[in-house]
Amino acid sequence: MERLSKTKTAIVLFNLGGPDCPEAVEPFLFNLFNDKAIIGAPGPIRWLLAKYISKKRAPVAREIYAHLGGRSPLLPQTEAQAKALELALGEGYRCFIAMRYWHPLTDETVTAVKAWAPDEIILLPLYPQFSGTTVGSSMGEWHREARRQGLNVPTRGICCYPDHRDLIAGFADLVGKGFAEASVTGRPRVLFSAHGLPKTVIEAGDPYQAQVEITAKAVVEGLNLPGLDWVVCYQSRVGPMEWIGPSTESELQRAGRDKVPVVVVPIAFVSEHSETLVELDIEYRHRAVEWGVPAYVRVAALGCHPRFIAALAELIVHPVAIGAGFCKRAGRTCPGVGLAC
């Protein structure tokens, strides 16, 4: 995909971020809960709530990250994806990483991009499905910071790609291998597990749940396994609000009652982090054993899978080829933050 011209394109990869040491856990959580896309209260109240919640949750979160050596693996994995994407694209492209809640934060990345002086900028979230709490928040922060720093470069945003053919092919490849492994103990049920959201967010028009279902359905079609038993479910519920469901835990309990092995697929995560390596691999696996699930196979996140990197490269080089109208097909109104559709 190398270009003959000397045009410079900066690709900004958005992701959540994670603490890089135990001392960073509480400020990371504060940044998360101080985001108005997460807690919609007025600024001063949100700040106080973020201070309270982050302080209260920090000890438990530090225990979680202790399983991972005291830090999140998300940044090094995103760096590996950035290098793979640069290699796929060739000369003239450079990837930058902007994490929403921990370093490198958006302001740092805007400074780095401005210093490189690109001819164009492409904002590429590492979230296949759009949500205002992830993609919307990251893009909004980018545009605010770019204005503040005077970064005036033509910019294009890619807001979602829930059923891009190469994304689906990568998922299908990994799920197929997991399905074969679990089949040793019987006909498996595939649990497509995604991070949950409060119902109020979805009822307000956020297309995330509908797009997760689009992705899962496309993977099932790509697997071409007649009679496949599968379900979309949601993990990581916090707080007293009603969340979208069914929950991953309830589906594991059902699998235990039905005595069927499960293949657990992180359908909304493209990198390994605490919710896959701890929540899925340790906590949910332990509960699955307690509930009598015959076998528990967790499919790896896409990471640097060649088909996933190919999907990202096509989104950048041939934006028209990805098709349009994901939100419309999902029965939602486009939030309007991306230009690829």
Annotation: binding site for Fe(2+): 195, 275
Residue 164 near residue 148, CB atoms below 8 Å: no
Place of tokens 């910071």: 145
Rounded Cα–Cα distance for residues 175 and 232 (Å): 14
Q: For residue 102, which amino acid is it?
A: W
Q: Do 159 and 130 touch, CB atoms closer than 8 A?
A: yes
**Is the Cβ–Cβ distance between 311 and 170 less than 8 Å?**
yes
Q: How far apart are CA 219 and CA 53, in angstroms?
A: 37
Q: In terms of Cα–Cα distance, which of 241, 248, 292, 251 is closest to 269?
A: 248
Binding-site residues, please?
Answer: 195, 275
Longest Cα separation, the chain: 61
Residue 220 vs residues 13, 283, 337: alpha-carbon distances, Å:
28, 26, 29
Joined tokens for residue 236: 């990581």
Closest CA to 264 of 201, 191, 327: 191
